[in-house]
Amino acid sequence: MSEPYTIAPKDVRKRHVRRVLAGLLFCMPMAAQAQDNWEWRVAPYLWGSALSGTAATVPGLPPVDVDASFSDILDNLDFAGMIAVRARNGRWGISGDLQYIKLNAASGPIGPNYGQAQAKIKNTIVSLFADYQVSQSQDHELWVSGGLRHWSVTTDLTFTPGALPGRTANGSDDWVDPVIGFYGRKALGERTYVSGWAYAGGFGAGSESMVDVFGGFGYQFTPTTSGVLGYRYMAVDRRNGSFVYDMKQQGPLMGVVFNF
C-alpha cells in the first residue's frame, strides 16, 4: 500500500479568516455583558442527519460516492458538537452557528481498479451573520440575515485492492461562503410555536452552491427555556482542483433553547 498523499495545504489567509470567525463567535457572550440591551438565545442541539454525496481527493483516484444513513453514522461517529447563538438589540442582531463532526463512512463497490473505499470525514463549520428585523408582532418575528460561513473539511480515503493494489489518500480544503437568508418564529399558543430558517450561499465565491433549510416545532417549558424538534436539510458543492466535497445532510434536529 502506498504512503498517504496530501493535497491542498492550508493557506495562511484562510487560517486567519477561520480564526477571526471563531473568535467573533467566542466573544459574543462578552459583548452581551457589555451591552445591557442585548437579548440572547443559546441553543445546543443534536442533528440526526444522514450523509450522501461525492468526495474526491487527489488526481488518479476515482471519486467516492457516500450514502450513510443516520444509523450508519451513529455506528461510525467519532465525535460531534453543535451550538447556535442569536442575539438582538432592538431591530438589529447577530447570529452564529458552530458545527463539528468526525465520522467514518463506507462507499459501495467502485471497480474495476479498486474494491470499495472507506471515507473518514472531519468537518468544522463556523457561521456568523448580521441580522435585521423586518417584521414583528405579539405572536411572530421575521429577520433577514447576511454573513459568512467558513468550512474546514478533511477527507481520508482508503481504497481496498481490486485490479490495482489498495491505496490511501487524503485531501483537505478551507473556504468561506457568502450567505444570505432569513429566519423567523411564530407563536401557535401560549407555550407552543414554530420556527425556521432558509439560507443560500456560495454563489461560486467559495462553494459552487450552499443551501441550509430548517423547520421545527417548539414548546416553552419556562419563560427562559424551550425545546425544539424539527427537520434540517443542508447541501454544499465545493470543487477545488481535484478536491471535491459535494454532500447533502438531512434529518431530524432536536435542541434546547436558553433565553437571557
Q: Of 149, 180, 125, 143, which is closest to residue 39 (Cα–Cα)?
A: 143
Kindly report the CA angle at 24 between 260 and 224, in degrees rounded to 5? 10
Residue 1 lies in a domain: no
Q: Higher model confidence: residue 71 or residue 130? A: 130
**Spatial separation of the C-alpha atoms in residues 229 and 92, rounded to whole Å:** 26
Residue 109 lies in a domain: yes
How many domains, the chain?
1
The residue whose grid cell reads 463567535 is 25
DSSP tally for the chain: helices H, then strands E: 3, 13
Residue 154 lies in a domain: yes
Residue 237 lies in a domain: yes
The SS3 call for residue 21 is helix
What residue numbers bound the domain in which 249 lies? Answer: 6-259
Instruction: Check residue 160 and give its pLDDT.
Output: 86
pTM of the complete model: 0.82
**Spatial separation of the C-alpha atoms in residues 242 and 111, rounded to whole Å:** 20
Residue 58 lies in a domain: yes
Q: Of 165, 171, 68, 159, which is closest to residue 109 (Cα–Cα)?
A: 159
**Spatial separation of the C-alpha atoms in residues 167 and 114, rounded to whole Å:** 9
Tens-digit pLDDT profile for residues 65-105: 888 777 776 776 766 889 999 999 999 999 999 999 888 87
Q: How far apart are the first and last CA of the chain?
A: 55
Q: Higher model confidence: residue 33 or residue 5? A: 33
**Spatial separation of the C-alpha atoms in residues 148 and 3, rounded to whole Å:** 36
Residue 160 lies in a domain: yes
Tens-digit pLDDT profile for residues 188-228: 999 999 999 999 999 999 999 999 999 999 999 999 999 99
Instruction: Check residue 96 and give its pLDDT.
Output: 96
Residue 126 lies in a domain: yes
The SS3 call for residue 54 is strand
Q: Rounded mean pLDDT of 29-50? A: 76
Kindly report the CA angle at 85 between 101 and 71, in degrees rounded to 5? 30
**CATH no. for residue 230?**
2.40.128.100
Q: How far is CA 151 from the centre of its chain?
A: 8
Instruction: Check residue 33 and give its pLDDT.
Output: 47
pLDDT band (50, 70, 90) for residue 62: confident
